[in-house]
Structure 1
């Protein structure tokens, strides 16, 4: 301690785990911020911003504050040996760790709740999946409440969590470190379980949707990307045991918990936002195609199936219960109308379609079937500003 400036609040240079916390937190924060910002822009642009988007955006805002606290903690001593810290830095590093921990818990519950709400929209027509998602959401919220309240109740007042002098002077009381370790392990187990559930459940839900197999696999991979967050959780788990001996370079060892938890949060933000950006990404990388190719529908749009919203349904034919999609002409100066005429004939040679369970008797039927002919009449005209000089209609 003789070489340490006793009045310094922050370390002059970062190295080892402290440097990793500082750099990784900033890099992952920037990546997560860009992805979530794009998601928010796309959802607002499509006028489909929903509860899941709001929850993810809230998790991103809290994560930005987490990054600031993690960097301040690293500058104060998180990830650094006690021999290189003064008394003030030891106290401040634990203070930043405690504040960071509370915000980490809040951001994680918002991110996982957002993913649950996204899956709920996918499975809106399946009661069994809806119940499973509600159970998963209940586990996420219960884990959050248990951990958050437990951390606040470890010491009274809360300041004693980082200022141990209050305990020595008899001005505060704290639970045993066994309680802290038990709480940490319970939170870790709940986090891993919910991470895996958020990764596996989308696969079962998407399997029954009316999407092409390629699209199902693509969306499942995007949503299951969040399972990588559980790897970060597993890596940080062994460092929880260092709470048993706070005098043994606690700030140095628990810095790894901050490091890998920030990685976990960033993965959750990115994984939860990528499905919303699927069409945006494909549009950005896809080469321009012909008008006919643009009018073809390759598969069900992801945001129609996954994210709900008031997307209109294109339809044609005799059904009057559906609303037709309003499509504009490629040339913005063209004005046009579309008329559809349907004719039904009873003298055709069509046969009635039926399944094996139908009790329909073809020999008793005298009806020939239904034929539909579509006739489209389109009238185009140009706006006045685009008409040739001297043109009179």
Structure 2
């Protein structure tokens, strides 16, 4: 039996006496996470573009967010058709339409997840330089993409034609045993849990070993560890995968799978976007960075002239007069310590610390043809 046009559908789950909380909960969670994801990705993109740091990871997150929105649209229509509602409240056409939009949900879910996780992995590669950690991240990204693509291929290949999923009156159509789909779902979920925990815990290990204030370490790790919430959603979903094999109350039971899958993707987008918004939040709160990117003037004792220069913690470039041995005057230029060597910076936070080599240079300029000695000191 073919499904009815969308304009002719009547949501039985909204009828008086037929209300099912699971359908309403699925719709509510889907709408909230879709709106939140769009807003955060827009803010993330605006922040990265305005600071000149837009990268491949941001582009992948935009693609993942767009596919996730399509996933949310499919889910919302599925709920309208009967997802989350028991069989006793549904007509045959409701069940067919619900299954059709569940298939669309599975396809868009399979495509959104690899883009989201790849974006998170590439973001971590921005700050992680140790080879062993980078290898782990690349492997996690590869496993995420591979498992998601296996899921997508399984959905589109296990029934021929695709419409046979929801309309088994089609002549010549066939579907593989449902147990294959269930087994692949367990495999993909297990891989997702492993990659989620890797993406959540590995950055925390790296950040905790950086030279940063403990308070800043804790806050950064807390944001990064939110990825474990996505993993928790995957774990909660595991017991419900068995309902792919049960036809009774199919739309009601599979709604549990859908809602936790939506939470997994939505939380992934939120966790992947929050770290890049710290500088934006600080600018809104009126905080000023003190990481050495301000300019100013310095003044000294009588006889010195203030010279403008690039500021830094500890001073700026100064110019003044020195008396020479022959009674003349020379110009003294004192350069402040400069950052040398390796340093680590997650953003423009004031709590970041840098390892630096201090270098002091004094240059003496001869005035009126008199010879004046110059000196240079390093330490």
User: TM-score range, shorter-chain basis?
Assistant: 0.7 to 0.9
Asked whether the equivalents of residues 242 and 253 of structure 1 are also in contact (C-alpha less than 8 Å), the reply is yes
Structure with greater proportional strand content:
2
CA contact (8 A) 2:67 2:112 kept: yes
Please give the per-residue CA displacement for 1:164-216, whole angstroms capped at 9, x wherever unaligned.
233xx5x1111111101101111111111111111111112223434333322
Deviation at 1:117? 0.3
2:287 is the counterpart of 1:296: no
* Aligned equivalent of 2:158, options 154, 158, 170: 154
Task: Structure 2 unaligned segments of length 5 or more: list them.
Answer: 1-6, 298-306, 310-316, 320-331, 335-358, 365-379
Paired position in structure 2 for 1:234: 235
Structure with larger RCO (C-alpha < 8 A, sep 6+)? 1
Cα deviation, 1:96-133, whole Å, max 9, x if unaligned, reads 0001111011111111000100111111x311111111
Contact 2:296–2:308, Cα closer than 8 Å, also in 1: no
Residues 149, 53 of structure 1: CA spacing in aligned structure 2 closer, same or farther, 3 A cutoff?
A: same
In the alignment, does 2:182 pair up with 1:187? no
CA contact (8 A) 1:25 1:67 kept: yes
The answer to whether the 8 Å contact 1:122/1:206 transfers is no
- Report the RMSD for the aligned CA atoms in angstroms: 2.5
C-alpha separation in 2, matches of 1:215 and 1:112: 25
Matching of residues 330-369 of structure 1 within 5 Å: 338=309
The answer to whether the 8 A contact 2:196-2:230 is kept is yes
Query: Alpha-carbon deviations, 1:365-390, whole Å to 9, x = none?
Result: xxxxx853599xxxxxxxxxxxxxxx
1:53 matched to 2:58: yes
Against the structure 1 CA distance between its residues 235 and 373, is the aligned structure 2 distance closer, same or farther, given a 3 Å change threshold? same
| 1:372 aligned residue | 361
Runs of 4+ aligned residues of structure 1 deviating over 6 Å after TM superposition are 341-344
Aligned residues: 301
- Residue 216 (structure 2) aligns with: 215
Displacement of 1:30? 1.2
In 1, the alpha carbon distance for the partners of 2:153 and 2:280 equals: 40
TM-score using structure 1 length: 0.71
Distance 1:25 1:327 in 2: 48
TM superposition shift of 1:326: 8.0
Distance of 1:371 and 1:126 partners within structure 2? 32
Residues 23, 328 of structure 1: alpha-carbon distance in 2 compared, 3 angstrom cutoff: farther
The equivalent residue for 1:94 is 99
Q: Secondary structure at the match of 1:99?
A: helix
Q: How does 1:179-328 map to 2 (within 5 A)?
A: 179-246=180-247, 248-285=248-285, 294=288, 296-297=290-291, 327=295
Paired residue for 1:134, among 138, 155, 158? 138
In 2, distance between residues paired with 1:271 and 1:285?
Answer: 21
- Distance across 2 between alignment mates of 1:55 and 1:23: 26
Q: How many angstroms apart in 1 are the aligned matches of 2:167 and 2:296?
A: 66
- Answering whether residue 63 of structure 2 is matched by residue 63 of structure 1, we say no
Provide, for residues 253-300 of structure 1, a one-character-per-residue CA deviation record: whole Å limited to 9, x for no partner: 0011111111111111110000001122233335x6xxxxx4633xxx
Q: Contact between 1:10 and 1:77, CA under 8 Å: does it hold in 2?
A: no
Cα 1:16–1:102, aligned 2, differ >3 Å: closer, same or farther? same
TM-score scaled by length of structure 2: 0.74
Indicate whether 1:120 and 2:121 are aligned. Answer: no
